[in-house]
Amino acid sequence: MKTITLPKTPSFRLDGKRALVTGAGRGIGLACAAALAEAGAHVTLAARSTTEIKAAAAAIVAAHGQAEAVTLDVTDLAAVHAMATTRPAFDIFVNNAGTNRPKSFTEVTEDDYDTVMNLNVRAAFFAAQAIAQRMIEEGRHGSIINMSSQMGHVGGMKRTIYCASKFAIEGLTKAMALDLAPHKIRVNAIAPTFIETPMTAPYLSDAAFMTGVVAKIKLGRLGKVEDLMGAAIYLASDASALVTGTSLLVDGGWTVD
């Protein structure tokens, strides 16, 4: 009988890797940080709230993970650059910090627009640039994961600025992937549906809104932060070694039709 050599599944482990997650004090960012730490990475959690981010890092350490907290406002580009250049290079960057101001198109103010676009697009762009520059300097073959949204693939009522910002992230992801591929740095996006987080809680508390949202999610339920943890590990690990420039929809089927 002929001997068959079976292929071996690439590792989902991240032992020895250094990861940075922005907006990591709560919600999706905290879940991604916890997932990466559980997979073996040393995780730097960054957010504006010192108390919150320290508590998040402490919880990961208490669960036998490796984590540290950094107080960082990603809209302060000088602070982002200083953080990227004074710490050891990262292998993994989850570009997660973001915000939303749901309003009808005719009611959006300049302040609304500037607040959402400055954080979701401008800060995300230059944070990724700073991390990528350091990866290149240190010869790191890394993975950058931009946090997009299903609203980067479809429109939504009272979501004009948010949609604009997330469509921008989708385009940015593809173009970054082209520029960084020669350096063996992969760039992908995760595009979630409505996830139960502190940011979504105010409008999901509206029963009519909640009913309409769940009706569009083909699997019949809201997303939980746990639904994104596997996606983060996959895109950060060697299991996705040939994946770049793509967007992984975790939307329960919202965008199917």
* Residue ranges per structural domain of the chain: 18-250
Confidence bin at 202 (pLDDT 50/70/90): confident
98-143 per-position pLDDT tens digit: 999 999 999 999 999 999 999 999 999 999 999 999 999 999 999 9
CATH of domain 18-250: 3.40.50.720
Alpha-carbon span 152 to 248, nearest angstrom = 11
Alpha-carbon span 54 to 30, nearest angstrom = 11
Q: List residues with catalytic annotation.
A: 162
Which residues neighbour 77 within 8 Å (Cβ) at sequence distance 6 or greater? 123, 126
Confidence bin at 228 (pLDDT 50/70/90): very high
* Structure tokens belonging to residue 242: 């040939």
* AA letter at 58: A
Which residues neighbour 75 within 8 Å (Cβ) at sequence distance 6 or greater? 118, 119, 122, 123
CA angle, 151 as apex, 44 and 52 as ends, to 5°? 30
160-199 per-position pLDDT tens digit: 999 999 999 999 999 999 999 999 999 999 999 999 988 8
* Structure tokens belonging to residue 59: 């919880």
Query: Does an H or E element contain 115, and which?
Result: helix 110-117
